[in-house]
Amino acid sequence: MRPELLVRPSSLAHLWKTLPSLPRDRRYLAGGTDLMIAASHGHAGDCWVDISGLKELRSFRETPSSLFIGSGLTISALAEMPAVKKWLPALALAAPHYASPSLRNMATIGGNAANGSPCADGVCALCSEKASIVLLLKGVKRKLPLPAFFLGPKRTALRKDELILGFEVPKWRHVSAYEKLGPRSYFGISKVSVCVSAEISGGVVKETVISCASVAPVPLMARKAAEFLYGRRLDEGTISEAAALAESEASPITDTRSEAGYRKAMVRVLAARALAKIAAA
Ligand X SMILES: Cc1cc2nc3c(=O)[nH]c(=O)nc-3n(C[C@H](O)[C@H](O)[C@H](O)COP(=O)(O)OP(=O)(O)OC[C@H]3O[C@@H](n4cnc5c(N)ncnc54)[C@H](O)[C@@H]3O)c2cc1C
Binding site for ligand X (CB under 6 A): 27-35, 37, 57, 71, 98-99, 103, 106-108, 110-112, 114-115, 120-122, 158, 163-164, 187-189
Q: Report, in Å, the least distance between residue 27 CB and ligand X.
A: 4
Could you tell me which residues are beta bridge partners of residue 207?
199
Which CB, 218 or 245, lies closer to ligand X?
218
How far, in Å, CA of 102 to CA of 33, rounded?
Answer: 11
Residue 76 φ/ψ, nearest 5 degrees:
-70, -35
Residue environment code for 237-247, b if the CB has 16+ CB neighbours within 10 A, otherwise e: ebbeebbebbb
Residue type, 75: I
Which CB, 3 or 245, lies closer to ligand X?
3
Q: Report, in Å, the least distance between residue 174 CB and ligand X.
A: 21
Which CB, 38 or 269, lies closer to ligand X?
38
Q: Report, in Å, the least distance between residue 278 CB and ligand X.
A: 22
Residue environment code for 79-104, b if the CB has 16+ CB neighbours within 10 A, otherwise e: bebeebeebbbbbbbbbebbbeeebb
Which CB, 54 or 200, lies closer to ligand X?
54
Q: Report, in Å, the least distance between residue 242 CB and ligand X.
A: 25
Residue 18 φ/ψ, nearest 5 degrees:
-80, -35
Nearest residue to ligand X on Cβ basis? 111
Distant-in-sequence, close-in-space partners of 51: CB < 8 Å, separation ≥ 6: 9, 15, 28, 29, 30, 57, 72, 163
Which CB, 11 or 235, lies closer to ligand X?
11
158: which DSSP letter? Answer: P
Q: Report, in Å, the least distance between residue 53 CB and ligand X.
A: 13
Q: Report, in Å, the least distance between residue 209 CB and ligand X.
A: 18
How far, in Å, CA of 68 to CA of 62, rounded?
Answer: 6
Q: Report, in Å, the least distance between residue 148 CB and ligand X.
A: 16
Which conformational region is residue 195 in: left (phi greater than 0), alpha (psi within -120 to 50 degrees), or beta? beta
Which CB, 40 or 251, lies closer to ligand X?
40
Which CB, 93 or 245, lies closer to ligand X?
93
131: which DSSP letter? Answer: -
